[in-house]
Amino acid sequence: MVHRIATQIHPGAIIIFHDGPNGSQATVDTVAQIIPDLRRDGYRFLTVPQLLQDEASAQHRSPGTPRANVSP
């Protein structure tokens, strides 16, 4: 998982981790390893509501850019 994320990550990417009903140590280990690496490379982590707010703010600041219709 770490290699796949590291080789496919790009600005604007969304990484989704799925966890089974009994938990997954592989997911926990991957998150623990990849977050420091991505932060070091300048990536930041947002919740979905933060991402939507960030996108709406960016569009609002750019004249002529259509605004997204986002419902809470």
Of 56, 6, 50, the C-alpha closest to 65 is 56
pTM of this structure: 0.59
3-state SS, one letter per residue, for 14-50: CCCCCCCCCCCHHHHHHHHHHHHHHHHCCCCCCCHHH
Residues 38-48 have pLDDT tens digits of 999 998 888 88
Tens of pLDDT along 5-52?
989 998 888 888 776 666 688 888 888 999 999 999 998 888 888 888
Return the pLDDT at 25.
Answer: 83
